[in-house]
Amino acid sequence: MAKQPMLKFVDVARDMPVKRTADERNKDFDEIYAEYADAKAAEQASRCSQCGVPYCQSHCPLHNNIPDWLLMTATGRLEEAYQISQATNTFPEICGRICPQDRLCEGNCVIEQSGHGTVTIGSVEKYITDTAWERGWVKEIVPFAERGESVGIIGAGPAGLAAADVLRRAGVQVAVYDRNDRAGGLLTYGIPGFKLEKDVVMRRVEQLERAGVKFVLNCNIGEDLSFQALRGQHDAVLIATGVYKTRDLKGPGAGATGIVAALDYLTASNKVSFGDEVAEYDNGTLNAAGKKVVVIGGGDTAMDCVRTAIRQGATSVKCLYRRDRHNMPGSQREVANAEEEGVTFVWLTNPKAFSGEPVSGVVVQRMKLGDPDSSGRQSPVPVEGSEYTEDADLVIKALGFEPEDLPAAWSEPELPVSRWGTVQVEFNSGATRLADVYAAGDIVRGASLVVWAIKDGRDSATAILKSFDAAREIAAE
Ligand SMILES: Cc1cc2nc3c(=O)[nH]c(=O)nc-3n(C[C@H](O)[C@H](O)[C@H](O)COP(=O)(O)OP(=O)(O)OC[C@H]3O[C@@H](n4cnc5c(N)ncnc54)[C@H](O)[C@@H]3O)c2cc1C
Ligand code: SF4
């Protein structure tokens, strides 16, 4: 068992040479802290009962071999734990931070099910890979041999990046196109830094860049480069564009100044955290400081908005959701965090109108839960005569996202899409009906999760490699 950190610190201090620089002292402290954290991770990992029915694993979209890497961590074999963990997950340290574990691995841990509190799988996963980076176990991506084929990936979010990783390791020439000025997709500009530090994302982007993946940023496919031209430049194309059409508010006054889209608000906040100058943040349009903030919606985006507003110094933050706590789509853990931080949830409420220009209030209709709909969820029904006004000088719309109309935007009517606008693909391979065009992530599933985007990106990349190999075999015959 590892020593207590303070005892070790005193021992180290006693053995220290007389003169040490601040950096050397910090290094000593880091090593001690790392040992302490190893012990904590091992303590948590040793709670895994190795039950033999790993529901945690079957409820992880990547089917991560959780029991094995917990066993390695519990027995101090951290590098092996990292090797097992990274074999199935391209970005374990990212998933460990932002997967809704209560709905996935941890929610299905048998220790949790038996009422003893889950093994904190996500924290251990994060710790293993953070440690691997610190100790140099994360190796550069070096293809075994270069291949002649090239793939163009549209979208540098988790789906596109995971695919780029698989393809580049296999020696394929990879170019990733993104209309943003930085790679990462929603990892960079959606999810706030207090949940996912931006240097953790950029470290992965830089690793891919060093491996030879070419990032073509500020390039909007359909505007700066046509989809057809892109197809002409590559042997295969992967569409990983995510979903960005914001669902809008209805009702009188919904267009008032001071009513903003969640992603504009979060993007501004994330850009500021990179040190960028953002005029709409500086002039207060996308800044909650000193304001009464009302966020409308009950998903994870709404949770990110309310928690960002608290951090920016809002005077009050309220979240309006039309169903009750039990029926909200966002993670319960996030709700608990938001409540602890001072957010008020006003359940069973729907905005009916907005007063003032700029906005000064939200006219709210109270709701009750009625009969279940076809999905089995109880539908919210207005309570007549229950309207009242919530004061607000910043209203953030967090009602969810839908796919953009890609066939129209790209003048490609043959691109197959569902009635919701998601790209239709073959199960597992991500192949579309268009020759050598694949799709992955939210643009296929609708707004989903990072871990699913990673899985889709890996699966599509594997299918693309298989198709290249098949073409080579045919050419050799
Ligand atoms: C605010 C917010 C918080 C979230 N929090 C979580 C969370 O905590 N945990 C979790 O698991 N999931 C979370 N999600 C969901 C998660 O971020 C997404 O499921 C995931 O990022 C989808 O990955 P993707 O690669 O498919 O798309 P994205 O991450 O959306 O990346 C798509 C990329 O494509 C680019 N693009 C789009 N169109 C074009 C074009 N025409 N030309 C060039 N580039 C283009 C975009 O600029 C973007 O960079 C959150 C989502 C939001 C909005
Ligand atoms: S990837 Fe997500 S669901 Fe899978 S083990 Fe890690 S935290 Fe759990």
Of the listed ranges 248-262, 324-338, 415-429, 462-476, the least confidently predicted one is 324-338
Ligand 2 centroid to Cα of residue 106, in Å, is 8
What's the confidence (pLDDT) of residue 32? Answer: 55
pLDDT at 13 (0 to 100) = 32
Read off the pLDDT of each residue in 221-229 and give the average, rounded to a whole number: 98
Calculate how far, in angstroms, residue 199's C-alpha sits from the geometric centre of ligand 2.
20
One-letter amino acid for residue 165 of the chain = D
pLDDT in the model for residue 28: 57
Specify the residue for token string 């110094």: 313
pLDDT at 34: 60
228 pLDDT band, cuts 50/70/90, is: very high
Across 37-41, 328-332, 465-469, the highest mean pLDDT is recorded for: 465-469
pLDDT, mean over the chain: 91
What does the pLDDT read at residue 90? 98
Residue 209 and residue 215 in contact, taking contact as beta carbons nearer than 8 Å: yes
Closest to 397 (Cα-Cα) out of 306, 460, 278, 283: 306
- DSSP classification of residue 398: -
- Using CB atoms within 10 A of its CB, is residue 328 exposed (0-12), middle (13-18) or buried (19+)? buried
Residue 337 — very low, low, confident or very high, per pLDDT cuts 50/70/90? confident
Residue from 241, 438, 444, 458 to probe ligand 1 pocket by mutation (most atoms less than 8 Å from CB): 241
Q: Burial of 142 by CB count in 10 Å (0-12 exposed, 13-18 middle, 19+ buried)?
A: exposed
Phi and psi of 86, rounded to 5°? -80, -10
Side-chain half-sphere CA neighbours of 64 within 13 A: 34
Residue 281: phi, psi to the nearest 5? -80, -45
Mean pLDDT over 140-167 rounds to: 97
Cβ of 304 closer than 6 Å to ligand 1, yes or no, is yes
Mutation test residue for ligand 1: of 191, 286, 425, the one with most atoms within 8 Å of CB = 191
218 or 39: which leads in pLDDT: 218
Query: Nearest 5 degrees, angle CA 460-CA 462-CA 467?
Result: 95
The residue nearest atom 4 of ligand 2, judged by CA position, is: 60
Measured in degrees and rounded to the nearest 5, phi and psi for residue 345 equal: -95, 130
The Cα–Cα gap between 11 and 5 comes to 10
The CA R_g of the chain, rounded to the nearest whole Å, is 24
- The response to whether residue 128 sits with its C-beta less than 6 Å from ligand 2 reads no
Q: Cβ-count burial of 168 within 10 angstroms (0-12 exposed, 13-18 middle, 19+ buried)?
A: buried
Nearest-CA residue for ligand 1 atom 38 is: 241
**Closest ligand 2 atom to 59 CA:** 3
Could you please report the per-residue DSSP string of 143-212? Answer: -SS--S-EEEEE--SHHHHHHHHHHHHTT-EEEEE-SSSSSSTHHHHTS-TTTS-HHHHHHHHHHHHHTT
Separation in Å, CA 80 to CA 70, 71, 72, 85: 10, 10, 6, 8
The pLDDT of residue 10 is 28
Q: How far is the CA of 220 from the centre of ligand 1 (A)?
A: 15
For residue 448 and ligand 1, the question of a CB distance below 6 A is answered with yes
| pLDDT band at residue 167 under the 50/70/90 scheme | very high
Confidence band of 29 (pLDDT split at 50, 70, 90): low
CB neighbours of 403 closer than 8 A, spacing ≥ 6? 243, 244, 245, 417, 420, 421, 422, 423, 442, 443, 446
Which is higher by pLDDT, 52 or 235?
235
Helical spans, DSSP H, in 18-91: 22-45, 55-58, 66-74, 78-88
| pLDDT score recorded for residue 47 | 93
CA–centroid distance, residue 374 to ligand 1 (Å):
29
Residue 220: CB within 6 Å of ligand 1? yes
pLDDT at 168: 98
